[in-house]
Amino acid sequence: MFSEELQKISWHETTRAIYAKTAREVEDALSRAHAQLSVDDFMALISPAAEPYLEQMAQLGKQYTQMRFGKTISMYVPMYLSNSCTNSCVYCGFQHKNQVKRIILTDDEILAELKAIKRLAPFQNLLLVTGENPREAGVDYIERALRLAQPMFNNLSVEVMPLAAEQYRRLTEAGLYGVVCFQETYNRERYTTYHPAGMKSKFEWRVNGFDRMGQAGVHKIGMGVLIGLEEWRTDITMMAYHLRYLQRHYWQTRYSVNFPRMRPSENDSFQPNVLMSDREYVQTMLAMRLFDHDVDISVSTRENAEFRNNIIPLGVTSMSAGSKTDPGGYASYPQALEQFSVSDDRLPAEVEQAIRSAGYEVVWKDWDTALQQ
């Protein structure tokens, strides 16, 4: 299990090593970018020493992305089934202490949402999202939602509570293609500061969930850390270690990564501890592309329209559009609690036009359920 591997990696020594990287080490990593880089190379590319090499990284990142993916951007859409949650994550709008209306969509409401999304755009890649409430919106509920969605969408993924391997297998039989799970932070010492109660407070259960996905034969695994909790360069380096571990053990699985940034807000009780600038985001994305030419890099509507337009040629391979982060948001039910505020509120057609204007092709469908038979 990866938790055992992680115990061998010092957070503080990794941070020190990243900030000690030199220009020579960055140049050495860039010279090897045609092959598979080591995590040590990745640390050089994500370090402050690599900032003057951003243009060279961009040219290489563009080259390797086009070699592997062509000039394409895949489109996906999230659909929130529930905002009911038993966790106490200090940064999340869904945390159970928030005194707001909780919604778990019924079968009829799920169908209404699915139909509303189909009217919105020709999406085939659907991400079903729930808060973590295993009693009221557990595996039975998620399986039912997958079966309702399967006739309308060819690629179904979920972002839900970590499950047991046999539960992931059960969901793949119901049409599941991919699972997205954010570790949030790999800093074990500080993890419970942000996740003080609920199942999400169990660090090992969450971080080893990716092993259980691989053991269950999940076709695609999505990873991410929440930028704003801890030193982001160290957190993303830990994710690079994790990615390499998973690729060694579950080599038939595809992988994607995401770097969601927490935004400062006047209304939220929790403010980010660290910030990542747009330039640093681009450096991170390019470093990940040079580290792994095959990994899918996803950018959600957390990022604003101008920024998303500008990074289209720089390594991103999938984007969401038209996102609603509250249950029932597409079918215009009474507004429920949102998990986070959307920064890019353009219609899918507007995002599509921006992608095409950049010289890229929009891919609405890149998987068919028939391939899972």
pLDDT on residue 270: 82
CA dihedral (303, 308, 313, 319) in degrees, to 10, reads 70
In angstroms, the CA 89 to CA 78 distance is 21
pLDDT on residue 100: 73
Extents of the domains making up the chain: 2-367
Question: Contact 221/254 with Cβ under 8 angstroms?
Answer: yes
**Does the model's pTM come out above 0.75?**
yes
Question: Contact 326/83 with Cβ under 8 angstroms?
Answer: yes
The tens place of each residue's pLDDT in the chain, 373 residues long, gives 999 999 999 999 999 999 999 999 999 999 999 999 999 999 999 999 999 999 999 999 999 999 999 999 999 999 999 999 989 998 887 776 777 788 999 999 999 999 999 999 999 999 999 999 999 999 999 999 999 999 999 999 999 999 999 999 999 999 999 999 999 999 999 999 999 999 999 999 999 999 999 999 999 999 999 999 999 999 999 999 999 999 999 999 999 999 999 876 544 678 899 999 999 999 999 999 999 999 999 999 999 999 999 999 999 999 999 999 889 999 875 455 555 567 899 999 999 999 999 999 999 987 665 555 5
In angstroms, the CA 176 to CA 169 distance is 9
The two most distant CA atoms of the chain are separated, in Å, by: 60
**DSSP element (H, E) containing 206:** helix 203-207
How big, in percent rounded to 5, are the helix, strand and coil portions of the chain?
Answer: 45, 15, 40
In angstroms, the CA 173 to CA 273 distance is 41
DSSP label at 82? B
DSSP label at 104? B
* Answer CATH for 2-367 from 3.40.50.300, 3.30.565.10, 3.90.1170.40, 3.20.20.70: 3.20.20.70
Contacts of 344 (CB under 8 A, 6+ apart): 301, 303, 304, 305, 308, 321, 351
Hey, CA dihedral for 306, 307, 308, 313, is it positive or negative?
A: positive
Beta strands at 176-184 and 155-159: parallel, antiparallel or unpaired: parallel
pLDDT on residue 267: 47
